């Protein structure tokens, strides 16, 4: 679901002048010059000077709640959440019945991920002033983070009732209902919001995504086209429409959508690459930015998507052919997992190697791989760049579902050979091509011929220890057929 956006409570106009309360609680002759100067600096965005001014004032008047409140506001602007929490807490000592002070401290606690404390502040603010603008939305955001979906839905319902003219609240309510599997209710919320806010393209975009993910493709495409009509230069909306059309096999329409994306942003890596794939242009490899962006976006649900939806088993298949070619008793000193992704291949091969290094272009994928606990080292880098800089050699190389993003494999073969120990193994998969050495398919992935791989292997000093054809994954109703290769350095 989309992220719940917190609407910050609108602050009542508090007296910005200092109260002039000394430590003994007695009113003192007031010298407000530091306070006024600090306030002026704050209004001009000079936060460091504003903080210094409020601190000078508070040395003389340490119990002044207005000065503490303003200092807390400045600390938030500086990103000093601990300092802000301290300042707002001291402001509350002098303004215990101020709902805005409670709510603002709650915002700080939320940013610190102290959700119980944040919720307590929001509850107190709401108790003092039930109609405080934005308080229910803030509570909903915190309840969402606390994984209390029904309470978040209830709070958003109150927020929508209190501020029906705010499209973000409707948007967040729809996404929260969707996440709970209450699809019909979510669709109803988005449809009402579309009627109420006919010029808000984000609502139509979210409705389109929701409808598509639950099998209502034609209605989804209509909603997405409406979103693009409202925001014709929104590349995310164009990308979403193009991807959905592509997935439906409506390639002519998808090509047109990708072309519109390129017209809006000629440097957009996904649009350029997919347009090339659909129009028959044969680039030598997928753009690095395309691969990185694609896998960063997929990281969170990558494994569920591959294993559950696509019946992906390439790591296990490759482990099987390596065991057959090298023998199940063979162990390796240092293995390089090229394009390690979330670490599924590390799990498949980790028990037969003493040290496992993983490399990938996607930092989000590497973060998931790190959670597996099987890699001695993980590096965000390109394969050839890493091998060119490496100061060590490897006796096993793994490339699971990696060659599909590389058309011309000559640079990779040469780089692997330079860092391969005598007798080293290299195990990898490719999608199958029979008409050329390699081709960029409509999926945006490359397919390679067996003849091409064997030619490169021979030229770089590898022997083919084993080759097998197998089904790598599902694509729609069909299986994607591919090659499994085990190469070995020929010279001893």
What's the average model confidence in pLDDT over 9-27? 46
In a domain, 328, yes or no: yes
Convert the pLDDT of each residue in 87-106 to its tens digit. 999 999 999 999 999 999 99
Write out pLDDT tens, residues 276-290. Answer: 999 988 888 888 888
Residue 4 pLDDT > 70: no
As a whole number, mean pLDDT of residues 315-337 equals: 95
pLDDT for res 296: 83
118 with 210, same domain: the answer is yes
- Let me know if residue 23 belongs to a domain: no
The predicted structure's pLDDT at residue 19:
57
CATH number at 333 reads 3.40.50.150
| pLDDT of the residue at 27 | 45
What tens digit of pLDDT does each residue of 113-154 get? 999 999 999 999 999 999 999 999 999 999 999 999 999 999
- Structure confidence at residue 170 (pLDDT): 95
The parent domain of residue 264 ranges over 33-279
Query: What pLDDT was estimated at residue 311?
Result: 54
C-alpha 357/C-alpha 336 separation (Å) is 5
Mean pLDDT value across residues 330-350: 94
Label residue 5 by pLDDT band (50, 70, 90): very low
What was the pLDDT predicted at 29? 44
- What total number of domains does the chain contain? 2
Per-residue pLDDT tens digits for 417-473 = 999 999 999 999 999 988 889 999 998 999 999 999 999 999 999 999 999 998 887
Give pLDDT, residue 309.
53
- 34-60: average pLDDT: 93
For residue 481, what pLDDT band results from cuts at 50, 70 and 90?
confident
Domain end residue (candidates: 224, 248, 279): 279
pLDDT, tens digit, 9 for 90 and up, residues 178-223: 989 999 999 999 999 999 999 999 999 999 999 999 999 999 999 9
What was the pLDDT predicted at 42? 93
Q: What is the pLDDT of residues 377-397, one digit of tens each?
A: 999 999 999 999 999 999 999
Q: Report the CATH number that the domain containing residue 119 is assigned in CATH.
A: 1.25.40.10
d(CA 145, CA 338) in angstroms, rounded, equals 35
In a domain, 190, yes or no: yes
pLDDT interval class at 490 (50, 70, 90): confident
What was the pLDDT predicted at 137? 93
| Mean of pLDDT over the chain | 89
Answer yes or no: is 290 within a domain. Answer: no
Query: With bands split at pLDDT 50, 70 and 90, how would you rate the model's confidence at 9?
Result: very low
Q: Are residues 253 and 378 in the same domain?
A: no
Residue 176 lies inside a defined structural domain of this protein: yes
Please give the model's pTM, rounded to 2 decimal places: 0.76
Judge whether residue 26 has pLDDT over 70: no
Q: Are residues 310 and 221 in the same domain?
A: no
Whether residue 12 lies inside any domain: the answer is: no
């Amino acid at each position: 679901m989309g992220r719940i956006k917190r609407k910050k409570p609108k602050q009542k106009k508090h007296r910005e002048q200092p109260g002039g309360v000394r430590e003994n609680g007695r009113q003192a002759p007031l010298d407000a010059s530091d306070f006024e100067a600090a306030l002026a600096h704050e209004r001009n965005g000079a936060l460091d000077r504003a903080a210094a001014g409020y601190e000078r004032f508070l040395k003389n008047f340490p119990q002044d709640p207005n000065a503490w409140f303003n200092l807390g506001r400045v600390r938030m602007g500086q990103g000093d959440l601990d300092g802000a929490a301290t300042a707002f807490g001291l402001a509350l000592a002098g303004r215990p019945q101020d709902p805005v002070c409670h709510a603002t401290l709650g915002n700080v606690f939320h940013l610190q991920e102290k959700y119980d404390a944040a919720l307590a502040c929001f509850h107190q603010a709401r108790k003092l002033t039930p109609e405080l603008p934005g308080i229910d939305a803030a509570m909903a955001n915190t309840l969402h983070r606390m994984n209390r979906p029904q309470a978040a839905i209830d709070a958003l319902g109150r927020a929508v009732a209190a501020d029906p003219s705010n499209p973000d609240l409707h948007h967040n309510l729809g996404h929260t209902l969707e996440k709970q599997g209450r699809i019909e209710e979510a669709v109803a919320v988005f449809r009402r919001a579309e009627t109420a806010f006919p010029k808000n393209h984000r609502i139509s975009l979210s409705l389109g995504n929701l409808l598509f993910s639950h099998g209502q493709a034609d209605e989804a495409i209509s909603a997405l086209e409406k979103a693009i009509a409202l925001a014709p230069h929104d590349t995310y909306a164009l990308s979403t429409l193009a991807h959905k059309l592509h997935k439906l096999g409506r390639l002519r329409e998808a090509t047109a959508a990708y072309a519109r994306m390129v017209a809006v942003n000629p440097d957009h890596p996904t649009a350029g690459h997919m347009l090339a794939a659909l129009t028959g242009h044969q680039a030598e490899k997928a753009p690095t930015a395309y691969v990185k962006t694609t896998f960063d976006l997929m990281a969170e649900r990558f494994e569920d998507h591959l294993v559950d939806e696509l019946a992906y088993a390439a790591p296990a298949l490759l482990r099987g052919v390596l065991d057959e070619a090298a023998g199940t008793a063979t162990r390796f000193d240092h293995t390089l997992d090229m394009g390690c992704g979330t670490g599924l291949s590390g799990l498949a091969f980790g028990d037969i190697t003493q040290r496992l290094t993983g490399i990938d272009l996607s930092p989000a994928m590497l973060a998931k791989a790190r959670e597996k606990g099987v890699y001695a080292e993980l590096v965000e880098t390109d394969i050839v760049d890493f091998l060119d800089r490496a100061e060590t050699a490897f006796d096993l190389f793994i490339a699971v579902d990696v060659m599909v993003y590389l058309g011309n494999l000559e640079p990779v073969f040469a780089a692997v050979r330079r860092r391969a120990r005598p007798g080293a193994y290299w195990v990898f998969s490719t999608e199958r091509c029979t008409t050329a050495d390699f081709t960029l398919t409509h999926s945006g992935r490359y397919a390679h011929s067996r003849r091409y791989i064997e030619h490169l292997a021979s030229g770089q000093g590898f022997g083919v220890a084993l080759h097998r054809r197998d089904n790598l994954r599902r694509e729609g109703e069909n299986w994607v057929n591919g090659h499994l290769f085990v190469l070995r350095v020929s010279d001893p």
